[in-house]
Amino acid sequence: MLRVAVPNKGSLSEPAVEMLREAGYRQRAARHELVLVDADNDTEFFFLRPRDIATYVGAGQLDVGITGRDLLLDGHSDAEELLPLGFARSTFHYATVPGTAASVDDFAGKRIATSYPGIVRRDLDARGIEAEVIRLDGAVETAVRLGVADIVADVVETGATLRQAGLEVLGEAILHSEAVLVRDARGGPPSPQVEQLARRLNGVIIARQYVMIDYDVRVEAVDDACALTPGIESPTVSPLHDKGWVAVRAMVERKQTNRIMDELWELGARGILVTDILACRL
């Protein structure tokens, strides 16, 4: 039976459960369920703290897990990233009160508060900076106001929390994070069951990123239209009863949809329809 770790709390939990549901797996109905067997898919789900997931997977106790790239890199597990999942996107940044330091090179001797001491220590070592790292559990942004630290290193999504604390980002992002599927790096190649789970999750990611577009276009314009909607392999072109026209069907990137519809219209395409894709294997 495939054994999968799923975040039980925090920003990763709900979207991870949602993605597994969309991929056809049973998920828990109540928050107090710690383990759930999905017999139809021969899979067992363990709901664990996001920070612990790489540890369980890296120790070989569980086959795969969903966690944050930043949490994976902060620890010392033997887990490795198998597939980026496209949600819980954030950056990891140093931030401080304006005027405390002109750049990261001025951090020597300063106190840096963070919930990710592994990432920060490694970054400082790589820059050859000796600074004190203070580990806090959360709400790190308040550490400067309360005099516990001079600088913070934390997760930034919109930047609203930093702004509210009167802090400003300093330097480039230390890393870009998102939810990732992890597995034991010491194992051999992924098992067929792990590959199937990864393929299903990838199917959900692609179904979210793409839409299906259908339209009719005059035969003379079909090459130009297909250049606009090349699809993944090649668009489907079907004959219509009126020999002067064909019907075209192709997947297009969701965020390009309106630009492509406008350009197809200019080419004379009509009956342009866009529909959601629920799931796919490419």
Ligand X SMILES: O=P(O)(O)OC[C@H]1O[C@H](OP(=O)(O)OP(=O)(O)O)[C@H](O)[C@@H]1O
Ligand Y SMILES: Nc1ncnc2c1ncn2[C@@H]1O[C@H](COP(=O)(O)OP(=O)(O)OP(=O)(O)O)[C@@H](O)[C@H]1O
The residues binding ligand X (CB under 6 A) are 138-141, 154-161
CB nearer ligand Y, residue 8 or residue 43:
8
Phi, psi of 139 (to 5 degrees): 45, 40
- What character string, x for contact with ligand Y (CB under 6 A) and - otherwise, covers 163-182? --------------x-----
Contacting ligand Y (CB under 6 A), which of 52, 70, 74, 150?
A: 70
For residue 206, what are its two tokens? 């692609």
Residue 231 amino acid letter: G
256 binds ligand Y (CB under 6 A): no
Token pair 């999968």 is found at 4
Three-state SS at 101: coil
Is the CB of residue 68 less than 8 Å from the CB of residue 12?
A: yes
- Helices 192-209 and 13-22: angle between axes, nearest 10 degrees: 100
Binder of residue 88, out of ligand X, ligand Y, none (CB less than 5 to 8 A by kind): ligand Y
Q: Over the Cα atoms of the chain, what is R_g?
A: 24
Handedness of CA 118, 123, 128, 134 (dihedral sign): negative
Q: How far is the CB of 151 from ligand Y (least distance, A)?
A: 19
CB nearer ligand X, residue 154 or residue 216:
154
Among the residue ranges 64-72, 105-113, 121-129, 182-190, the one whose residues contact ligand Y (CB under 6 A): 64-72
> Using CA atoms, how far apart are residues 165 and 160, in angstroms rounded to an integer?
9
Token pair 């866009």 is found at 274
CB nearer ligand Y, residue 5 or residue 155:
155
- What character string, x for contact with ligand Y (CB under 6 A) and - otherwise, covers 111-150? ---------------------------x------------
Q: How far is the CB of 6 from ligand X (least distance, A)?
A: 18
16 binds ligand Y (CB under 6 A): no
CB nearer ligand Y, residue 177 or residue 229:
177
235 binds ligand Y (CB under 6 A): no
57 binds ligand Y (CB under 6 A): no
- Burial label for 224, CB within 10 Å (0-12, 13-18, 19+), is middle
Label the pairing between strands 245-253 and 43-48. unpaired
Q: Where are the alpha helices (DSSP H) in 98-211?
A: 117-127, 142-145, 160-164, 192-209
Q: How far is the CB of 13 from ligand Y (least distance, A)?
A: 7
Contacting ligand Y (CB under 6 A), which of 5, 23, 54, 71?
A: 71
Binder of residue 139, out of ligand Y, ligand X, none (CB less than 5 to 8 A by kind): ligand X
152 binds ligand Y (CB under 6 A): no
Residue 49 amino acid letter: R
Q: Which residues bind ligand Y (CB under 6 A)?
A: 9-12, 50-51, 68, 70-71, 88, 90, 138, 155, 157, 177
